[in-house]
């Protein structure tokens, strides 16, 4: 089976939904490019795979006929953003493109049931393939760096300002543990467009910089997992709304690779994994309660981390999920 994947080198979504699945799919001939050359397009493919948008959004039939392929559009987020989202205005111009892709694709793949429900009005040919990781391969290994301090970790982009704000007051209560802990924030960018947002997020996460902290710059998708070597406790805050519930549970999988114990908002999509061995936050007071417990209980950190590692390897291993993806791709090529 020959697959042409479309993904930008700096796209985390493309990395997890196009590059990793293709890279670990058996017995395929795959090409991945952001802008395919004429030479790449001079041959036929069985599958064209992209995440959300492509170069041919207004004319998928033309590329389908040109390279004699079936079209697979992958979705890992709802395309209707809440009005307070940083990218809301930009996405208003993309809604039509994305919905046209949903309508015109031979198959739409997505990450969870809630997102599938959003897609069904546009296309009934939907397959759910949750995010999954190739445990033990490439950058996804269990290695961690040692530290005398207990490192409390969060990673993400500046679009998560409202999520990180959930931690502002619970983290202020950690001042009594300030000699034991270090706050570690991953993804920071120091550009003019986002600096003020990041500074606010960093303030929330470090009790106005009164706690010791490290801030790691955003990294390319092929390298980003290095940040996770500096984590002893991982926080996964998420504001509950219709858009959030269509997101994936990737943060839990990332923590499981490194056996990092997790404190997590009990909202969808995370709460859809009711069996996940994490410390659930059902009310704001739970953030501090769980943090204080793990900071002062090394055995609990180890036990929760190891349990999450075992859970992730059993439930979200790319080597187990990818064969189902391959079967779905093969099925549409025979239709």
Report if residue 310 sits inside a domain.
Answer: yes
Structure confidence at residue 45 (pLDDT): 95
Average the pLDDT over 153-161 and give the result.
93
Domain of 282, in residue numbers: 150-315
115 pLDDT higher than 90: yes
Report if residue 159 sits inside a domain.
Answer: yes
Who has greater pLDDT, 186 or 191? 186
d(CA 204, CA 207): 6
Report if residue 142 sits inside a domain.
Answer: no
Check whether residue 173 and residue 65 sit in a common domain: no
21 pLDDT higher than 90: yes
Tell me, rounded to whole angstroms, the distance of Cα 80 from its chain centroid: 18
Report if residue 36 sits inside a domain.
Answer: yes
Structure confidence at residue 87 (pLDDT): 85
- Return phi, psi of residue 254, to 5°: -60, -45
Check whether residue 329 and residue 299 sit in a common domain: no
Count Cβ atoms within 10 A of the Cβ of residue 238 and give its class: 0-12 exposed, 13-18 middle, 19 or more buried: buried
Average the pLDDT over 92-114 and give the result.
95
Average the pLDDT over 96-100 and give the result.
94
pLDDT digits (tens, 9 = 90+) for 243-297: 999 999 999 999 999 999 999 999 999 999 999 999 999 999 999 999 999 999 9
pLDDT digits (tens, 9 = 90+) for 315-328: 999 999 999 999 99
Check whether residue 206 and residue 296 sit in a common domain: yes
* Residue 71: strand pairing partners: 48
Check whether residue 194 and residue 250 sit in a common domain: yes
Check whether residue 327 and residue 290 sit in a common domain: no
Q: Which of these ranges, 41-45, 131-135, 187-191, has the smallest mean pLDDT?
A: 187-191
Report if residue 215 sits inside a domain.
Answer: yes
Check whether residue 193 and residue 119 sit in a common domain: no
Residue 230: how many other CB atoms lie within 10 Å: 18
What's the whole-number average pLDDT of the chain? 95
Q: Encoding tokens for residue 139? A: 């950058």
CB 46 within 8 A of CB 258: no
For the domain that residue 124 is a member of, what is the CATH number?
3.40.50.2000
Give residue 91's pLDDT band: very low, low, confident or very high (50, 70, 90).
Answer: confident
Structure confidence at residue 290 (pLDDT): 98
Report the first-to-last Cα separation within the chain, whole angstroms.
14
Check whether residue 156 and residue 82 sit in a common domain: no
Structure confidence at residue 256 (pLDDT): 98
Torsion, Cα 116 122 127 128, to 10 degrees, reads -20
Q: How many domains does the chain have?
A: 2
335 pLDDT higher than 90: no
191 pLDDT higher than 90: no
Please provide the DSSP assignment of 232-251 as one string. Answer: SEEEE----STTGGGS--HH
Check whether residue 309 and residue 327 sit in a common domain: no
Structure confidence at residue 51 (pLDDT): 97
Structure confidence at residue 211 (pLDDT): 98
pLDDT digits (tens, 9 = 90+) for 200-237: 999 999 999 999 999 999 899 999 999 999 999 999 99
DSSP, collapsed to helix, strand or coil, labels residue 89 as: helix
**What is the residue whose two structure tokens read 């930008």?**
8
Structure confidence at residue 59 (pLDDT): 84
d(CA 161, CA 88): 14
Check whether residue 194 and residue 67 sit in a common domain: no
CB 44 within 8 A of CB 66: no
Report if residue 143 sits inside a domain.
Answer: no
Most distant pair of Cα atoms in the chain: their distance: 65
Which residues, other chains included, contact 255 with Cβ-Cβ below 8 Å and sequence gap of 6+?
A: 228, 231, 234, 236, 261, 262, 305, 308, 312
Average the pLDDT over 99-106 and give the result.
96
- 253 CB-side CA count, 13 A: 19
Give residue 165's pLDDT band: very low, low, confident or very high (50, 70, 90).
Answer: very high
% of residues, the chain, pLDDT over 70:
100
Check whether residue 307 and residue 329 sit in a common domain: no
3 pLDDT higher than 90: yes
d(CA 217, CA 203): 16
Check whether residue 41 and residue 189 sit in a common domain: no
Residue 62: name the closest of 76, 74, 82, 48 by CA: 48
58 pLDDT higher than 90: no
Report if residue 141 sits inside a domain.
Answer: no
Cis status, amide bond into 127, omega within 30 of 0 = no
Report if residue 139 sits inside a domain.
Answer: no
Check whether residue 176 and residue 68 sit in a common domain: no
Pick left, alpha or beta for residue 27 (phi over 0 → left; psi -120 to 50 → alpha; otherwise beta).
left
């Amino acid at each position: 089976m020959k697959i042409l994947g479309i993904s930008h080198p700096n796209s985390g979504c493309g990395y997890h939904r196009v590059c990793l699945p293709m890279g670990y799919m058996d017995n395929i001939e795959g090409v991945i490019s952001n802008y395919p050359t004429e030479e790449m397009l001079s041959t036929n493919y069985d599958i064209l795979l992209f995440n959300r948008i492509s170069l041919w959004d207004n004319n998928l039939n033309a590329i389908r006929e040109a390279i004699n392929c079936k079209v697979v559009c992958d979705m890992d987020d709802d395309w209707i953003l809440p009005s307070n989202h940083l990218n809301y205005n930009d996405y208003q111009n993309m809604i039509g493109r994305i919905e046209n892709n949903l309508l015109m694709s031979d198959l739409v793949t997505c990450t969870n049931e809630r997102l599938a429900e959003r897609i069904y009005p546009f296309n009934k040919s939907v397959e759910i393939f949750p995010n999954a990781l190739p445990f033990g391969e490439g950058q996804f290994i269990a290695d961690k760096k040692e530290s005398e301090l207990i490192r409390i970790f969060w990673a993400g982009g500046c679009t998560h300002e409202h999520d990180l704000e959930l931690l502002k007051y619970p983290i202020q209560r950690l001042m009594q543990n300030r000699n034991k802990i270090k706050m570690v924030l991953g993804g920071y960018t120091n550009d003019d467009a986002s600096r003020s947002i990041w500074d606010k997020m960093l303030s929330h996460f470090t009790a106005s910089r009164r706690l010791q902290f490290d801030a790691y710059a955003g990294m390319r998708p092929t390298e980003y997992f290095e940040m996770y070597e500096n984590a002893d406790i991982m926080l996964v805050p998420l504001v509950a709304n219709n858009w959030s519930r269509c997101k994936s549970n990737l943060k839990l999988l990332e923590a499981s690779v490194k056996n990092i114990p997790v404190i997590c908002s009990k909202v969808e999509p995370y709460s859809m994994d009711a069996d996940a061995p994490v410390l659930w936050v059902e009310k704001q007071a739970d953030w501090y309660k769980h943090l204080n417990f793990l900071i002062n209980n090394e055995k609990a950190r180890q036990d929760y981390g190891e349990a999450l590692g075992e859970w992730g390897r059993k439930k979200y291993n790319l080597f187990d999920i990818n064969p189902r993806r391959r079967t779905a791709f093969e099925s549409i090529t025979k239709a």
